[in-house]
Structure 1
Amino acid sequence: MKRVIFFLAVVLSASLIFFEGNTTEENKVKKQTTNEVIRLLKTNYEDIEEITITNYETLPTNVVAVEGHLNNNKDKFFSVTYNSSTKSPSDMIVSAKQRPECLDKICK
């Protein structure tokens, strides 16, 4: 009986350590992706002073969808899908004026 309890305790401990490590990695990726999306928005669009993220969702195949609004104005929104494998946006919808030098390409 003591062996069964010991075995269950070891399995439970290992599971908790695994999930905690997984959550830490997810938080790291989320922070990196969020920072990159903020940088892309500020680099490619004019008059962006504040960015509020309202939704962050990890999709299959390492794609992350980030949504929110700009300058505390809910009418000025953005939606960016970002591929964390290639470290580049796959789609950007932003209700702000694009910088002239970034019209034909994504400025980095």
Structure 2
Amino acid sequence: DSVTVNLYADGVKVDTVQLTAANQWKHTFANLDKYENGREIVYTVDEVLIPGYKTKITGDAQTGFTITNSKETPKTADHVNPMAYASIFVISLMAAIITMIEKKKFAR
């Protein structure tokens, strides 16, 4: 329903905003100082973590930041590794054959 975005000035949080469908998921941080003590301030943004989503932030303070959230889908066992199963089968088969040979030796 909403995301929380923090604005940082030289790594220090200076503002927070909630983005929603009502504000079209956009916000402009306005009237920001460009310099502090004669040095240009570097502004960055970060989003408060949304469980189950991966966040990607692109852009900069000059061109604007874009925050993209992608749903994280858990990996499933749909990707079967046939070589692993074949190796286990061959090893099991060899173990069974060796066991049968050893049983025949002791049965005599």
TM-score after normalising by structure 2: 0.25
Structure 1 or 2: more strand by fraction: 2
Structure 1 or 2: more helix by fraction: 1
